[in-house]
Structure 1
Amino acid sequence: MKIRMISMVVMLASAVFAVPDRPNIVWLTTEDNSANWYKLYNPEHGVRMPNVERLAKDGLVFNHAYSCGPVCSVARSTIISGCYGPRTGAQYHRRQVPVAMPEGVRMFPYYLRQAGYYTTNNSKEDYNYLPSDKEGVWDESSGKASFRRRTPGQPFFHVQNFGVTHESQLFGDLPKGKEYVVDPANVALFPYHPDTQVFREKYAQYLTLNSMADAEMGRIIKQLEEDGLLDDTFIFHYGDHGGVLPGGKGYAHNDGLQVAMVVYVPKNWQHLVPAPRGSRIDGTVEFVDLSATVLNLAGAEIPEGIDGTPFLGKGITLDELNSRDTAFGYAERFDEKYDMVRFFRKGKYSYWRSYQPFNFDGLHNFYRYKQPAFCEWRDLAKAGKLNPVQSAFYEARPPEQLFDLEKDPHEITNLADDPAYADILFDMRRALQKKVKSLPDLGFYPEPVMLSESGGDGAAFGKMHKQQIAKLVDIADLQLAPFPEARARVAKALRSPEATERYWAAITCSAFGDQAMEFEADLKRIASEDSNRLVRTRAAEFLGLTGAADPAPYIFAALANCDDPIEVNLILNSAVLLKDAAGVKFDMSLVEGADWTQLGGLVPHRISYLSGGTGEVPKKAKGKK
């Protein structure tokens, strides 16, 4: 009897102290938060974050980590799917119509649940995918979700989001009772920002908010420690994209995409990482890789249909990881504001491809301009009180730009026209062209066209139209050639029977500006007579940007009797561009058959702004959803 009791005690002790057969995984995610703000990444001007630094001391710091999208719904859709947004149609912020996950691919926590993990999310989702795609993904996703409600001994995957660093926290002052952790007089401003008291205070405020976020993360780390879980739990900390001062969030620039990525490595699972605890990793990792990485750490199968590659777990070597040197990013519709920029990094160089370069960065967006720093920047630009670097945010951009990130981390000095960098520019251009064609990139179809013709299955639509998308890329890339070389192909595309080809030909004419004035008569005809209202709008855009004609009557005609709010919003983006860039006035009461109160979504924000308002719309006036 005595021997039996001793055996039972030994068995119970073994059960308590046994190493689990799979690690736990926790994500601590802050919002709108680039690597610039951390002392870990910016030793001279970043803020101390003791809890994140504790994770780094016993973990890995990734020197080159990239969100694929510079805004939350796009970034989070990339993470949860493991797929690049432009391949599925999830690259728009925020979704107007949800799109489907690619066939055979589930949101990745589904695979963890199938493998026995307890999966929880507290609490932000913000996915651009169908609600049905979320079935079976989370055991709980709410403001109360916790790993503590799992079955005893069950491995878990838990996401904890922290909103204290969100851009909205800069609309006002610091929370009552809080003081700046750094004097505004001592902050280091990015070179493209004006040196004003408002900007200095917002910098100091954001550094302080990061300090507050660190304290909040410390409470979760303490929970894990109290529960005796630290030795078996990987803890990832990252910002959900870059930001948050103007020019970061929403823009496919390095400041909008590069994030902190710190991964605490538990003692019992050090064999799953390719470097000792306390190391810094130079290889480039992307958000599209996160799902594959978690599944690899958990020993779960990685679905074939995703785009990501694991950077931790079995089979990953340090040499291979450090050889990774590319990142891809995308910015398209950001709330009601349309643009189309693709970002590509290779080694120390970054490349921006602005497919609609006349769509300057500072184009009005009602939510962005709630931030005092944004408003001041625009006021100073209008008053002519900015230097050339600071004023570039409010001017048309070159179609392509090249930067040396080691010398120029905030991407100020464009090397694209420097003959010494011609070979590098050519290589970066070709790499980006190959990327967008291979996806294929659905951004080359206007959003309302892609949604209506795909039925919401963007990935399948892209496969079917891969050759056509490649052709549209080639038309858009005529912008990169000298106009005399591009002239004949532009003329041919303007006469194409395919509306999307005429659409990109008109955009390309606007990119060339006055150089393309020989097409004035053709574009006036297209603006008046084309069978496609979006093509007519792009032709009118050219006429307004070049001063060849008053674009308003053409825009009004394109809007007449249009009842698709997504199509209307895209047309209105051209109207706002013409208002902001060329001073064109639009009396929206002149649009025939228009009852703006019946069009919901983003349309009321544009109508408000074009009618002399700020773009803010009372909730009761936002119309149908």
Structure 2
Amino acid sequence: MNSPLLLLLGFTAPMLASPDDATAADKPNIVWLTTEDNSANWYRLYDKNGAPTPNIERLAEHGLVFNNAYSCAPVCSTARSTIISGCYGPRLGAQYHRRELPVAMPGGVNPFPWYLRQAGYYTTNNSKTDYNFRKEDMKDAWDESSRKATYRNREPGQPFFHVQNYTQTHEGQLFGDLPKGVDKIVDPSDVEVFPYHPDTPLFREKYAQYLTRQHDVDSQLGKMIDQLEADGLLNDTFIFHYGDHGGVLPGSKGYARNDGLQVAMVVYVPRNWKHLAPAEPGSRVDGFVEFVDLSATALNLAGIDIPEGIDGRPFLGEDISLEELNERDTAFGYAERFDEKYDMVRFLRKGKYTYQRNYQPFNFDGLFNEYRYKQPAYREWRDLHKEGKLNEAQAAFFEPRPAECLYDLERDPHEVNNLADDPKYADILADMRTSLEKRLKGMPDLGFIPEPVFVSASGGEGEAFGRDNKERIAELIDIADLELVPFDEAQSQIAQALQSKDPLKRYWGLIVCSAFGDKAARFVPEATKLAASDENLLVRARAAEFLGLSGTGDPVPVLVDVLRTSTDPIEANLILNTVVLLRDGEPGIPFDFSKVEGAPWFQRKKGIGNFVQRRIAQFRGE
């Protein structure tokens, strides 16, 4: 017989008599139902143009909806590494997708399911892991982690923590058409196209396909909820639903912007544990929550002490008040390497404003990435740009960016109108800039150490390496931030950086020169010398990049030479990003890969070597 609560929820599977539904359990169960690659704006629960998700909406009626939930990274391995550790990725060297060097968990911290196991929980994961950490650090996280993992294998009455992952909304689902027999839930002519996308039949078709996928995955979630009901567990089980990061149409997944980071977060609150929720079921919470908070939240619900070494804070459980929770108004995000494509962007939301800091502003978002461009909409977007058929907002994806951007989400939810140069917002911009700088220096942010240097120097001990190099990283941040002041004020410090004995200061000084472009012409002689003879290959490549972007020198001989000389595929891949930038963007410099085919890194087939081969195939038009 169904309970009144379940009838209200709309579930009608028969209740099974079991010890679990006789009395309240000693500890609450926790279930996470995660979907892939979907921003909050794909849900009707968050946006009137989103997909209907009746099962998630019914959970919300008897739980909490978090209006401002954020993944810390816009791609899965980095986002999941943040969740499992409770730590921001750039503090540990876990911010790359995918990892080339598995890194260590921070000292004194275990994957959070380990703590649940120690407290008697049965922990199961079905089934995605995709962590950037060492296997030995992960081995004791789960009792079961596989496609067959289920909480049903626990001992009678044992509390459990279970993760169920659903892939129907993954980016790869948009590489082709919907499966046969699946009808779109919306006509493509009725969708509302984001302002930065071209309004074409193909884009509208992909919107309709994705909304359909979003609706279909909700029915899969419903089956798991039915199972929990049938097992008599709903009165003692917190059910979380969230997407693993934003996405999925071009310009969201992989990019540290609101559409790539803001996710749905809905938590069903069980009747027997209502006292662990800060608001009544059916409420919406405005306070900001981040993926870095999920581990602390799970532990707090279970009554387990939260490790001192993590960055997150609980948003459910004992001693969490709605008043305090609603005072949380900040979210932090980061994007760096996605497969073979490098960038470095940091994101900060505070209140209604978002701030994006582009540390390589001469780069452009649409820089080639082999996996990204399997999506037909990406290819059409690029082709329309080449044909000059995009408006200003749509073309921005393929053009250099400002070093910093400021957006008002209430007026501009898709971050099109940059307010950074508007004097009316100068104080807000300064506050966001200062807040981000303090955060990055305090971590410290290992993104300022180029990945090949980090890999060779850290041995994967990211937290310890960052601690040992905290002052150096702060100095590199100061050099990078010279991009934000007038050139006349910055030039003396740029000169010092280019003449520094520290190769990473020279490296960042040259990035700043490229950001200033023609204004930095006085440094062309110094850059020419560095390109020709610096002992560091990355410095030579950045010098060639500056000369190529400014049109003051031929970068090809230098780049060919450094690629021939490099023995490190990670280093070569970073340099190849410069090649792609100069070839596909302005000034459109041709490059012959046959001249580097004998390089030591060229034939490597595993790890990042695969990305290198894709890069080469792209250049050859294969």
Residue aligned with 1:46, SS: coil
Contact in 1 for aligned 2:498/2:506 (Cα 8 Å): yes
CA distance change for structure 1 residues 215 and 367 in 2, over 3 Å: closer, same or farther? same
Please tell me whether residue 23 in structure 1 is matched to residue 35 in structure 2.
no
Please tell me whether residue 173 in structure 1 is matched to residue 180 in structure 2.
no
Please tell me whether residue 536 in structure 1 is matched to residue 536 in structure 2.
no
Residue aligned with 1:597, SS: coil
**Deviation, structure 1 residue 609:** 3.9
Quote the Cα distance in structure 2 between the aligned partners of 1:615 and 1:576. 13
Q: Which residue in the other structure is 1:590 paired with?
A: 595
1:385 to 348, 364, 389: 389
Structure 1 residue identity aligned to 2:608: L
**Deviation, structure 1 residue 560:** 1.9
**Deviation, structure 1 residue 606:** 4.0
CA RMSD of aligned residues (A): 1.4
Q: Which residue in the other structure is 2:495 paired with?
A: 491
CA distance change for structure 1 residues 614 and 317 in 2, over 3 Å: closer, same or farther? farther
Quote the Cα distance in structure 2 between the aligned partners of 1:500 and 1:486. 18
Quote the Cα distance in structure 1 between the aligned partners of 2:20 and 2:206. 52
Q: Which residue in the other structure is 1:480 paired with?
A: 484
1:192 to 190, 196, 199: 196
Structure 2 residue identity aligned to 1:355: Y
Structure 1 residue identity aligned to 2:604: Q
CA distance change for structure 1 residues 611 and 50 in 2, over 3 Å: closer, same or farther? closer
Contact in 2 for aligned 1:38/1:46 (Cα 8 Å): yes
CA distance change for structure 1 residues 123 and 580 in 2, over 3 Å: closer, same or farther? same
Task: Report Cα offsets for 1:299-320 as digits up to 9, x if no partner.
Answer: 1111100000000000100000
Q: Which residue in the other structure is 1:4 paired with?
A: none
Q: Which residue in the other structure is 2:167 paired with?
A: 163
**Deviation, structure 1 residue 446:** 0.2
Q: Which residue in the other structure is 1:408 paired with?
A: 412
**Deviation, structure 1 residue 350:** 0.3
Residue aligned with 1:598, SS: coil
**Deviation, structure 1 residue 97:** 1.2
CA distance change for structure 1 residues 114 and 612 in 2, over 3 Å: closer, same or farther? closer
Task: Report Cα offsets for 1:458-499 as digits up to 9, x if no partner.
Answer: 011000110100000000000000000000000110000001
Query: If the length of structure 2 is used for normalisation, what is the TM-score?
Result: 0.95
Please tell me whether residue 254 in structure 1 is matched to residue 297 in structure 2.
no
CA distance change for structure 1 residues 14 and 151 in 2, over 3 Å: closer, same or farther? closer
Q: Pick which of 164-173 and 449-458 moved more.
A: 449-458
**Deviation, structure 1 residue 600:** 3.7
Residue aligned with 2:603, SS: helix
Q: Which residue in the other structure is 2:144 paired with?
A: 140
Contact in 1 for aligned 2:20/2:232 (Cα 8 Å): no
**Deviation, structure 1 residue 15:** 8.4
CA distance change for structure 1 residues 607 and 152 in 2, over 3 Å: closer, same or farther? closer
CA distance change for structure 1 residues 590 and 281 in 2, over 3 Å: closer, same or farther? same
Q: Which residue in the other structure is 2:281 paired with?
A: 277
What does 1:38-437 correspond to in 2, within 5 Å?
Answer: 38-43=43-48, 45-437=49-441
**Deviation, structure 1 residue 603:** 3.8
Residue aligned with 1:344, SS: strand
**Deviation, structure 1 residue 14:** 8.7
Quote the Cα distance in structure 1 between the aligned partners of 2:212 and 2:617. 38
Contact in 1 for aligned 2:340/2:608 (Cα 8 Å): yes
Residue aligned with 1:489, SS: helix
Count of residues paired in the alignment: 604
Contact in 1 for aligned 2:292/2:312 (Cα 8 Å): yes
Structure 2 residue identity aligned to 1:23: P
Q: Which residue in the other structure is 1:601 paired with?
A: 607
CA distance change for structure 1 residues 20 and 398 in 2, over 3 Å: closer, same or farther? same
What does 1:524-603 correspond to in 2, within 5 Å?
Answer: 524-581=528-585, 582-591=587-596, 593-595=598-600, 596-598=602-604, 600-603=606-609
**Deviation, structure 1 residue 60:** 0.1
**Deviation, structure 1 residue 591:** 2.7
Q: Which residue in the other structure is 2:11 paired with?
A: none
Q: Which residue in the other structure is 2:12 paired with?
A: none
Query: If the length of structure 1 is used for normalisation, what is the TM-score?
Result: 0.95
Quote the Cα distance in structure 1 between the aligned partners of 2:56 and 2:19. 33
Q: Pick which of 603-612 and 152-161 moved more.
A: 603-612
Structure 2 residue identity aligned to 1:511: A
Quote the Cα distance in structure 2 between the aligned partners of 1:412 and 1:384. 19
Structure 2 segments unaligned to the other structure (5+ residues):
1-16
**Deviation, structure 1 residue 590:** 1.6
Q: Which residue in the other structure is 1:503 paired with?
A: 507
**Deviation, structure 1 residue 611:** 5.5
CA distance change for structure 1 residues 14 and 67 in 2, over 3 Å: closer, same or farther? closer
CA distance change for structure 1 residues 321 and 415 in 2, over 3 Å: closer, same or farther? same
Residue aligned with 1:238, SS: strand
Contact in 1 for aligned 2:603/2:609 (Cα 8 Å): no
1:37 to 17, 38, 42: 42
**Deviation, structure 1 residue 602:** 3.0
Quote the Cα distance in structure 2 between the aligned partners of 1:611 and 1:27. 40
Contact in 2 for aligned 1:437/1:473 (Cα 8 Å): yes
What does 1:430-445 correspond to in 2, within 5 Å?
Answer: 430-445=434-449
Quote the Cα distance in structure 1 between the aligned partners of 2:574 and 2:321. 46
CA distance change for structure 1 residues 362 and 14 in 2, over 3 Å: closer, same or farther? closer
Structure 1 residue identity aligned to 2:51: V
Quote the Cα distance in structure 2 between the aligned partners of 1:410 and 1:120. 37
**Deviation, structure 1 residue 433:** 0.3
Structure 2 residue identity aligned to 1:32: D
Contact in 1 for aligned 2:98/2:132 (Cα 8 Å): yes
CA distance change for structure 1 residues 486 and 317 in 2, over 3 Å: closer, same or farther? same
Contact in 1 for aligned 2:37/2:171 (Cα 8 Å): yes
Quote the Cα distance in structure 1 between the aligned partners of 2:209 and 2:598. 47
Contact in 2 for aligned 1:338/1:573 (Cα 8 Å): yes
- The percent identity for this pair of structures is 66
Contact in 1 for aligned 2:370/2:614 (Cα 8 Å): no
Task: Report Cα offsets for 1:225-271 as digits up to 9, x if no partner.
Answer: 00010000000000000000001000000000000000000000000
Structure 1 segments unaligned to the other structure (5+ residues):
1-11, 617-625
Quote the Cα distance in structure 2 between the aligned partners of 1:307 and 1:445. 21
CA distance change for structure 1 residues 614 and 328 in 2, over 3 Å: closer, same or farther? farther
CA distance change for structure 1 residues 120 and 612 in 2, over 3 Å: closer, same or farther? closer
Q: Which residue in the other structure is 2:454 paired with?
A: 450
**Deviation, structure 1 residue 191:** 0.2
**Deviation, structure 1 residue 598:** 3.2
